[in-house]
Amino acid sequence: MLQPAYIELYRNGKLEERIEKAQKLLKECQLCPRRCKVNRLENKLGVCKIGRLPKVSSYNPHFGEEPPLVGIHGSGTIFITSCNLGCVFCQNYDISHLGEGYEVSIERFAQMMTELQNIGCHNINFVTPTHVVPQILEALPLAIGNGLKTPLVYNSGGYDLADTLRFLEGVFDIYMPDFKFSDDDVAAKLCKARDYPQIAMYAIKEMHMQVGDLLLDERGVAVRGLIVRHLVMPNGLAGTRKVMRFLAQNISKNTYVNIMDQYHPCGLAHKYPEINRYINTKEFEEALQIAREEGIHRLAV
């Protein structure tokens, strides 16, 4: 069984260096592409509405994630409150937009990781971690000191700066970003981030460079590598062909991709007629066919 990469980083002292550098970024926060430049060390709030300490909505074994993460005992998910992206149709709208959750100390944050490990979870899965990268790093030595030795999963919306992701090289063994849209206008309208497609491409390249294609153990459980999620949207708004072509040509045809069919109108979707409906079977099957046509063959279906 592979040892999580962060153990070596902790032993050689480089993890502490990463923590110091990441914390400095909070003083004039530019962790994500929003670049709010607020002093989060003094609890000033930017787009993500999170100050010095992380906020957590819930943490528990989760059995609805991708099969390689769930295994037998579940993925140990820690749902981070808020988001740097803010899609109008978010299916966790109460968490991402309304801020449902509670502030936790760094010590408690670390305890959550070890608690999930100790009940058998195969990994520690940070859901929407982009805006709390320094806090995750800060909590990690405490968790390691208490016996943490489980792979970490970075489960993001894909709106991540490559510069920030470089702080995480050797920390996260598994990256699981979304690639939501391939069209600038769609991204501008649905998540107020016209640069989303380009940012997601750079981010996924950096993630893959760090961890490579998905590697499974003898039980079929993920131990290292990249998983990409792509949510099929009504009326082809996700731009599936461009997404799959990018992955096949610029990342790897061996990329493990979950093309998801669970879109339904949530949050403010009712205000946008083009997304105010469920997707249909034809749209989903077309997305799967497009992936195969573009050369993507590891599909989580």
- Tell me: pLDDT of 2 over 80: no
| Terminal-to-terminal C-alpha distance of the chain | 26
Q: What is the pLDDT of residues 134-188, one digit of tens each?
A: 999 999 999 999 999 999 999 999 999 999 999 999 999 999 999 999 999 999 9
Select the CATH number that applies to the domain covering 5-299 from these four: 3.40.1190.20, 3.40.50.300, 3.20.20.370, 3.20.20.70. Answer: 3.20.20.70
| More confident of the two residues 300 and 225 | 225
Q: Under a CB-based contact definition with an 8 Å cutoff, are residues 288 and 294 in contact?
A: no
Domain boundaries along the sequence of the chain = 5-299
